[in-house]
A and B are shown apart, each in its own frame.
Chain A
Amino acid sequence: MTDALLFATLNGLVTGLLLFMLASGVTLIFSMMGVLNFAHASFYMLGAYFAFSLSQPLGFWPALLLAPLLTGVLGALVERHGLRHVHRHGPVAELVLTFGLAFLIEELVQLFWGRATQDFRVPALLDFPLFTLFGQDFPAWRAFMLLLSLGIFALLYAGLTRTRYGLILRAAITHPQTVANLGHNVPRIFMLAFGVGTGLAGLAGVIAGPVLGTWPGMAASLGSLVFVIVVIGGLGSLTGAFVAALLIGLLQSWAIASSVGMADVLALLGLSFPPDHPLRDLWRLTLPQVAPLLPYLLLVLMLLLRPAGLAGNREN
């Protein structure tokens, strides 16, 4: 059991950090503009597709650098020409625009790259098992994902707290008027922040694409999970998003690794039900089966008990 648990923990960490890369972008954008970017996972998908197409002529490593840049630029353009235009119609219109964009991007990806899964592979340099434990390999690529995610978090944290630009950014979040009066171009700051956020999503896509599959449904599969994380962590809090992302990643991984089910609970309580009982599906449930539901359950619980999230500092 310990070997399964160890691998589950490692993989949970990798997944959690990947989710954090996406959630951090959403949190940043939300702090700036008060709008939840529904299209964030779509930029994640675009990052993977751009990297796939760029890696054919240029190789993987240049693509790793260029694809997030491309996605960031695209994001900045979306902010400049889309969101800013719609801003005057209220927050609902902004939210619905990002929702529509998510839908549109998925369709455009299917048009330009087709509907099948793309053959985006891990670069040969890192395509080897890092170590073998209890008969199972741990690929080096996942270790790379882990290190890169941690590095990005450290960079982001340092950038926001130690650099002058980060200072201006944090000030613009809480006191946009004052910062504008001080002579800074606040709309341009917001646009750049949006670009950085979507660029991060693109980077997440580049490193996750070879592992989680580069296909048109990849945005939808992670999109709602990212929002769950952002809300559980507390809207607007980067540390909260970090903790929530790790929590969700680990929880899902452990849930799948276990073999506990309702049958065990019932046996413990000494209850049993006939096989054709109307609630028979509930009695046959196992934890691995409900693992994908756990984040949403947590979301509902969190919104009931502690609406501000784990470390929230902004509710609306």
Chain B
Amino acid sequence: MDSRQAWAAVAVLLGVLPLVFDSVLSVGILNQMLIAVLFALSYNTLLGQGGLLSFGHAVYFGLGGYVAAHAMRLTELGSLNLPLVLLPLAGAAGGLFAALLLGSVSTRRGGTAFTMISLGLGELLAAAALILVAFFGGEAGISGDRTAGPALLGVSFARETEVYYHAAVWVFLGALCLAAFRQTPAGQLAMAVRDNPLRAQCLGYSAARVRLLCFLVAGTFAGLAGALFAIHNEIITSQALGTANAGQVLLMCFLGGTGYFLGPVLGAVLLTLCTALLSGWTTLATLYLGLLFVGCVMFLPDGLSGLVVQLHVRWRRGSLRPLVPPLARCALPTAALLLSGVLLLELAAREGAALHVAGLTLQAGNAWSWLGLAVAALIAAWLLRRELPALQAVWQQAGAAGDRQVRP
């Protein structure tokens, strides 16, 4: 399947999804996923492509969102008559403007200095958002009615599905642009500067200029994603440009893998799904995300997309079959370890309430519950420790000389 067919298939998939998952909640989650995908893709332009770790990328997302929210509010009040379909462009312009202003100082140096300055600017703007009430609306944020603008072909965007298709078109276009950017000489240069800035400079390219270009592209598409966010929620607050949001997008990219274009997409979809669904099941949702984050950085540094590529390589070489037996032997202890770990944490969080699982009732005050779970966890861990080296050995053998080493 070549890339054109792949893009066409994605377009079809995007069109069909809300017909399958058609409740208001599901379409809302799909919308969120789209926004997250574009945001993560823009962030990966900085991280994966440019090698620049930023802790303040949410600023451009937020600023794009604020521009769009103000435009919506002005349309609602009657002083502006912007159709909704053009709002993402306004957001992108806002993101670009902010990236120009702040990027010219941020991108002078790369590496740790860039990370630190991004952190400083992010904190500065997040704090300023609560002080400069005229633009940022204070704690309540800026709110606007998306149906107030002129209707397009009879569509007023009152329904969730209409907003979804609108976002789907913009995200598809944005992803196309970002994928195309990777193939342009400028995009390739960004990767060159990431890998060896000195060498790129010796070849005559200004590392700072290349970084700035990368930064501008990332900022523009982050602003676009922010505008889509403002349209979807009809409100934006200073939380959108805070460090929590910046941390989330970092997790998305790391989870999905920064080395491949589809990595952030995978990470964004999974993370949005997890946060939306987990919070309905447990109060420890953020704890599990933290564990996932740390686990991902430690055991899956290339992310899920890296894992998929490695599996694909082994499949191509026909060396997947010998993996199955050691995988099977590791699967049960891993599942048992994860289950007992989760149950232990949930029990600790219950504070006296009972936990019902598979016909058993576990109580925080009952020592047997704790003991049983701890013993189960220990046995599972011991079994896993015994079986893991075999799996690792077979894995290495299956992929010897076939793994692409990709460094974020």
Contacts and interface: CB of A to CB of B under 8 A. Distances in A.
Nearest to B407: A90
A127 interface: no
Contacts of A89: 301, 407-408
12 contacts: A85-B298, A89-B301, A95-B115, A96-B250, A224-B119, A293-B131, A296-B120, A296-B123, A300-B120, A303-B117, A315-B112, A316-B113
Given A100-B294, A281-B131, A111 B348 contact: yes
B397 to A, nearest CB: 20
Contacts of B291: 104
A227 B124 contact: no
A104 B120 contact: no
A111 B297 contact: no
Contact of B294 (A36, A97, A299, A307): A97
Contacts of A106: 290
- Contact residues on B (Cβ < 8 Å of other chain), bracket: 35 or more
Contacts of A224: 119, 123, 243
A299 to B, nearest CB: 4
B278 interface: no
Contact of A292 (B47, B127, B134): B127
- Contact residues on A (Cβ < 8 Å of other chain), bracket: 35 or more
Given A95-B53, A99-B247, A227 B119 contact: yes
A248 B178 CA distance: 41
B348 to A, nearest CB: 6
Nearest to A292: B127
B345 interface: yes
A293 B287 CA distance: 30
Contacts of A231: 116, 120
B297 A228 contact: no
A285 B131 contact: yes
Nearest to A95: B53
Contact of B120 (A107, A292, A303, A307): A303
Contacts of B112: 36, 91, 235, 315-316
Contacts of A290: 131
In the complex, the 7 A-B pairs of residues with the closest C-beta atoms, listed nearest first: A104-B290, A100-B293, A107-B287, A299-B120, A296-B124, A89-B301, A100-B294
Q: What is the interface of chain A mostly: helix, strand, loop, or mixed?
A: helix
B131 to A, nearest CB: 6
A222 to B, nearest CB: 12
Interface in B280-313: 284, 286-287, 289-291, 293-294, 296-298, 301
Contacts of A297: 124
Contact of A97 (B108, B286, B298): B298
B298 A82 contact: yes
Contacts of B198: none
A228 B120 contact: yes
Interface string B99-133: 00000010011011101110111011001100111
Interface string A277-316: 0111110010001101100110110011001000000011
A7 interface: no
A137 B344 CA distance: 48
Interface in B26-81: 47, 51, 53, 55
B297 A96 contact: yes
* Residue with the greatest number of chain B CB neighbours at <10 A, chosen from A103, A290, A293: A103
Contacts of B298: 82, 85-86, 97
A299 B297 contact: no
A289 to B, nearest CB: 6
Contacts of B289: 103
A86 B287 contact: no
Nearest to B301: A89
Contacts of B111: 316
B293 A299 contact: no
Contacts of A86: 297-298, 301
